Structure 1
Amino acid sequence: MRKLKFRWIFFSLLFLVGVSISVGYNFKTQHKKKQMTAHIVYFWTNPNLSAADKEKFEAGLRSLLKIKSIKQGYVGKPSTTEARDVVDNSFAYTLMLFFDDVKGHDAYQIDPIHLKFVEENKQYWTKVVVYDADTM
């Protein structure tokens, strides 16, 4: 009976040590995120775009996601979140791109796919605002 109690205590402690190490490791890795460079672009489009023009513009935005230096990328429209003084939903489209670093961003800027997008789609927008940021 005493051996059984000792084994139970021993394996319980071993289990707790294993869980503690695992939780500590996960905490460290989750809080030690890699720095990235974000490139967020907001487009205000010409108000009288046809449905075909909108489709072409949206396809052009999605084509940018194929650029190799992009690690994550999303195309979006204004959300239907509650209207508040601090929210600006006046844009028509947004492009959210994430790169490993500024070098990836710079490679994106001169990539032929990006240059083609600008040339073929610049007539569709009236205003573009870009926010670049490095994650912390």
Structure 2
Amino acid sequence: MQLAHNVFFKLKDQSPARVDELVAACKKYLNVQPGIVFFAAGKVCKELNRDVNDLDWDVGLHLIFKDKASHDSYQDDPTHIKFIEEQKHNWAKVRVFDSLV
């Protein structure tokens, strides 16, 4: 089975420039690892403001890996680690949702 890895970042500095910076960093560092079959990163869509929409985040990262082993390798990949080191100072909250799909 494939593994969906969804990460939602709430930023300390939620300015448009900092949101764009995190999206760009996701695109630079987090779509180069082997085993990724789908990658997307983007800003919250605040216009979808229904009772069921959770809007308590700024940037969403969406990855699908060919299998759990690929996901596990991604976690230790140097580019993933570099992304965390460069960006974590602006994270107020990070939520991760993983599912087999």
TM class by smaller structure:
0.7 to 0.9
Q: Tell me what 1:128 maps to.
A: 94
Aligned-residue offset at 1:133: 0.1
- Larger relative strand fraction: 2
2:31 aligned to 50, 65, 68, which one?
Answer: 65
Unpaired runs of 5+ residues, structure 1, are 1-34
Contact 1:37 1:99 in 2 (8 A): yes
Distance, in Å, in 2 between the alignment partners of 1:57 and 1:50 is 10
Distance, in Å, in 2 between the alignment partners of 1:77 and 1:71 is 21
SS in 1 for 2:93: strand
**Greater relative CO (CA pairs within 8 A, separation 6+):** 2
Amino acid at match of 1:67: Q
Unpaired runs of 5+ residues, structure 2, are none
Contact 1:57 1:124 in 2 (8 A): no
Cα pair distance change 1:84/1:115, threshold 3 Å: same
- Larger relative helix fraction: 1
1:101 maps to 2:67: yes
- Percent identity among equivalent residues? 35
- 1:69-84 aligned at under 5 Å gives the runs 69-84=35-50
Structure label with greater radius of gyration:
1
1:114 maps to 2:80: yes
Aligned-residue offset at 1:56: 3.3
Contact 1:42 1:93 in 2 (8 A): yes
Q: Which moved more, 1:112-121 or 1:69-78?
A: 69-78
User: Matched residue pairs, number?
Assistant: 100
Task: Render the CA deviation track for 1:76-133: whole Å, top value 9, x for unaligned.
Answer: 2112454222110121000000001110100110001100000011011100000000
